[in-house]
Amino acid sequence: MIEFYHLNPTLMMRYQPFMNEVVKNKAETASMEGWMAGIYVRDAIGSNFSKSHRYPEAPISFYAEPEVEEEAPQFTDADRFQAWAMVFNKQFGERKGVIVDADGAEVTDSNAENTGGDANTGSDASTKEETPEA
């Protein structure tokens, strides 16, 4: 305390912001400690009155790094538009009675014969009855 009596107001003004920060940090630390103790008390009381609630077996870590989740693949605007266009074309074709493949191309009976399937039924072309040409 002897230092206090030897300080002039100019030196005290230099130390004032630092001391305010120290006091603020101490208050925040005390508040956090009280909050953490409250969590443990809550868990202790809850574990006594509820069979489903258990007291933590290990200390609760409040400062642990959050687990990094695997990020979903990022789609560009062009990818999203292409997907939307494919769905729209398919729905539009269904309303008009036209069958559209995944690429958005219209499937006709001639296309179905080339691919080995019937455009209307999805069955194999070899099961169709062929009429002999005269």
Convert the pLDDT of each residue in 45-55 to its tens digit.
998 888 888 88
pLDDT at 1 over 80: no
Does residue 81 share a domain with residue 57?
no
Does residue 104 share a domain with residue 81?
yes
Structure pTM?
0.38
91 found inside a domain: yes
67 found inside a domain: no
- Looking at the 3D structure of the chain, how many domains does it have? 2
Q: What is the pLDDT of residue 66?
A: 67
Q: What is the pLDDT of residue 118?
A: 47
Range of the domain at 107: 77-125
Does residue 91 share a domain with residue 53?
no
Helical (H) or strand (E) element with 99: strand 99-100
Does residue 81 share a domain with residue 46?
no
Does residue 55 share a domain with residue 91?
no
Q: Distance (Å, rounded) from C-alpha 20 to C-alpha 125? A: 87
Q: What is the pLDDT of residue 67?
A: 72
* Rounded average pLDDT over 6-27: 87
**Last residue of some domain: 20, 39, 62?**
62
- If DSSP codes are grouped into helix, strand and coil, which group holds residue 15? helix
